[in-house]
Amino acid sequence: MSPPLSMLGRLSWLGHDLTVAAPDPVWFSWLEDFTGLAVRTEEADPSGCRAAPPVLSVVDDRHALVDGNDLRSFSSLNNLKAWLFLTVSDVMIERGGFTAFHAAGFIVDGRAVLVSGRPWAGKSSWAFAAAERGLDVLGDDQVLVDAAVGLVYGLPRPMKRRIISGAETTSSPSAAVRASLDDEEIVLVPRRTAGLAPVDRGYPVSQIVHLSRHRGPGIVPISLDSFTVIRTVLDQMRGRPSAFLRQTAAAARMLSRLRNSGLSVGDGEIARGLDAVLDSVHHGGDESHLRTHQG
C-alpha cells in the first residue's frame, strides 16, 4: 500500500530530526499536543523523489507505514494514534543513540526525583499524583539520561494510564485517547493538557526511589547496598544496540552514584508515599522521613 500525497511534518528534539508524513494537517496538531514537540510542516514532493521515505507515514485512519514499506494495520483510529504518539519517542531515542531509564520523574526545587520500578509497580500513578500536587512532571514511564552532563530529560511522549478491567475508571481529559495496544487497554493524556515539563530542558537528579508494592497498608523503606543499586539500575535501563552499550554503562554508573533508596508501598498509599519522598527531598535525603510515614 502506498500513501496518498501527504503533508510532511518535521519534529526536532535535542538536535535530532524526525519526519512524519500524514494525509491531513490535524495529525500534526495531535503530534504537537501529545509529544510536546513543535512540528514544522511542508507539502510533500508530488514527484515522490525524496532521497528516502519518511520513517513514519500515516496512510489513512487504520494504516501506517514504517520506513516506506513496513505496513502496520490498526483496528481503530485511536489505536493508530496511540501507536504513533508512543513510537515517535522510540524512534527519536534510537536516532539519537540516547539511553532511557524506566522511571517516572518530577521536579522538586529545580531537581528531578526519579521513581523507578518494574511494570505495574505504580510509576504512572506516582506521576499523576505528582501532577495533581502541581509539580512539574517529566513523564510517567521513562526519562532520558545524559551521563555526559549529568542531566535527565522528559521524553516526547504522552502520559499513559493503564485501564484495569473491572476497576473504577478515573476520569480523563476530553483530549485523551483511549486505545488498545499490545493487548493492553490504555489512556494517553497529551503532554500539553497534562502540563508536563518541557522535553528540551535537562535537570540534575536529586534522588532515585526504587519502588515496589505490597498488599495491605503502610509504606516500608527498603535498604539497598551498592551492588543491589547498580543491578537494579541496570535492570531498568532500556535495552540498547551494542553500539550504545558504552553510553548505557555510563548512564548506569551516573545513576547508581546518586542517592538511591527503596520503598515498598501498600495498597492505596501513593499519597503517603509521595509525602514521604517529598519530606526526604526537603530534608536532604534523610531516610528517617520515609520511616515517619510508615504505617
Q: Is the pLDDT of residue 187 over 60?
A: yes
Q: Which residues fall within 8 angstroms of residue 182, CB to CB, at 6 or more apart?
A: none
**What CATH number did the domain enclosing 111 receive?**
3.90.228.20
Q: Looking at the structure, do residues 143 and 35 belong to the same domain, yes or no?
A: no
| C-alpha torsion angle, residues 89, 129, 196, 147 (rounded to 10) | -60
Which tens digit of pLDDT belongs to each residue from 272-287?
A: 999 999 998 887 655 5
Whether 178 is in a domain gets the answer no
For strands 142-146 and 99-108, give the pairing. antiparallel
Q: Looking at the structure, do residues 256 and 126 belong to the same domain, yes or no?
A: yes
- From the list 104, 129, 294, the residue with the least C-alpha distance to 214 is 294
Number of domains in the chain: 2
Whether 185 is in a domain gets the answer no
User: What are the b/e assignments for 60-85, b being 16+ CB within 10 Å?
Assistant: eeeebbeebeeebebeeebbbbbbbb
**Confidence at residue 7, expressed as pLDDT on a 0 to 100 scale:** 92
Q: Which of the listed residues 56, 77, 96 is the one where a domain comes to its end?
A: 96
Q: Looking at the structure, do residues 11 and 148 belong to the same domain, yes or no?
A: no
276 phi and psi, to 5 degrees?
A: -65, -45
Q: Looking at the structure, do residues 144 and 226 belong to the same domain, yes or no?
A: yes
Q: Looking at the structure, do residues 207 and 79 belong to the same domain, yes or no?
A: no
Residue 168 pLDDT class (50, 70, 90 cuts): very low
Mean pLDDT value across residues 93-106: 91
| Among 54-63, 80-89, 174-183, the least confident range | 174-183
Q: Looking at the structure, do residues 140 and 285 belong to the same domain, yes or no?
A: yes
Q: Looking at the structure, do residues 75 and 208 belong to the same domain, yes or no?
A: no
Q: Looking at the structure, do residues 12 and 141 belong to the same domain, yes or no?
A: no
Residue 134 pLDDT class (50, 70, 90 cuts): very high
Whether 173 is in a domain gets the answer no
| Among 75-79, 158-162, 180-184, 236-240, the least confident range | 236-240
Domain that residue 86 falls in: 7-96
The overall pTM is greater than 0.85: yes
- From the list 168, 92, 170, 99, the residue with the least C-alpha distance to 131 is 170
Q: Which of the listed residues 74, 96, 118 is the one where a domain comes to its end?
A: 96
Whether 186 is in a domain gets the answer no
